[in-house]
Amino acid sequence: MDNSSVGIVKTRTVDFDGDLRLESGRLLAAPITLAYETYGQLNAERSNAILVTHAWTGNAHAAGRHADDDRKAGWWDDMIGPGKVLDTSRYYVICSNVIGSCGGSTGPTSKNPRTGRPYNLSFPVIMVRDMVRAQKCLIDHLGLRTLVTVIGGSMGAMQALEWGVLYPEVVRSVIPIAGTGRTSPMAIALNALARQAIFNDPLWKKGNYRPEHPPADGLALGRAIGHISFLSNASMHLKFGRRFSARDGMFDFFGQFEVERYLEYNGRAFIDRFDTNAFLYLAKALDLYDVAWNFESRQQALERIRCPSLWFAFSSDWLYPPHEAEEVIDILRGLGKPVEYHLIQSDYGHDSFLVEPEKFTHFITGFLQRLGV
């Protein structure tokens, strides 16, 4: 067994009996289920908990393996474990699957308790703020009054920021990575193309597809569109260049470049692990994200944050480019909030926070040490 691994872990679920009032004004009917995993031990004072928040198509399985023969560890396994950045010999680390997803938490694939049938498109539109309110139910269930930090990348960064705004009395710090304070028109446009790819698949059937016959072509194409935005021109040159697939003839009309084959493979692999409607609902939540929602301004929203924040942006990220995080950081600094910011040079685009963690994790270690927990 790897001494730096959390080992074999299990995804657990908890059901909440109360309805959840959403930002839309609708109620998400009880019971509401959240899937989650924990790593490490809670200390006697219950003061060493860290919440990890996942990105768009992530889940609660952030570290370790579910079985000895699992080919892959959790999605942030290089960050979580004994002696790692989120050191489980020191911290009690929690990761929960967001509502609206398909990783065990209540989402469009769940049964509507009022009808006994899957929600499909009758599931209410959710926002990132709704995800965080559901997470607060989990934190309360675990008996935690404070969190050392909330840390996450991409959609996880949005959740971390929302924790600072919604629950300033709970969080001692937040660490948004490769995030934004509000989604740009370009990011919305890319998601719109992904949506149309799915809507135009005849098997989608306005969300009423059979699980055994999902709109695979539409979802694979939608995922490929999204995946392009996670990369960068430089990373594509590094990984693929202009190489033509060795199995195709260059003048075969349907022959493909290696980058084409990669996108096709990635899209096809995705349909085996993610639900189409969940993909759409989470894309909508991303599009709707604005930290100023229901406030008069971003300044008014960010004024609520009391804790230190540690921000990271990546030089080649064109999905949530550095200037979008810097706009939020400038407001926080103008409000006199304690902010630390690092612009990381990387060629790997939005995915840099997953591909090259070694470029920024030492800053996280130092930041957590200065918190004194």
Looking from the CA of 308 toward its CB, the CA atoms found within 13 Å total 12
Specify the DSSP element, H or E, that contains 81.
Answer: strand 80-81
Q: Give dist(CA 369, CA 373) in Å, integer.
A: 7
Q: Which residue has the tokens 């260049």?
A: 241
Q: Give dist(CA 359, CA 348) in Å, integer.
A: 12
77 assigned to a ligand binding site = no
68 assigned to a ligand binding site = no
Nearest alpha carbon to residue 61 among 13, 103, 33, 100: 103
Residues labelled as active-site residues: 154, 317, 350
Q: What is the distance, to the nearest Å, from the Cα of residue 350 to the centroid of all Cα atoms in its chain?
A: 12
Q: Give dist(CA 350, CA 352) in Å, integer.
A: 5
Parallel, antiparallel, or unpaired for β 32-39 and 49-53? unpaired
DSSP symbols for 269-313: HHTTT--HHHHHHHHHHHHH-BTTTTSS-HHHHHTT--S-EEEEE
Annotated binding site for substrate: 223, 351
Question: Annotated binding site, which residues?
Answer: 223, 351
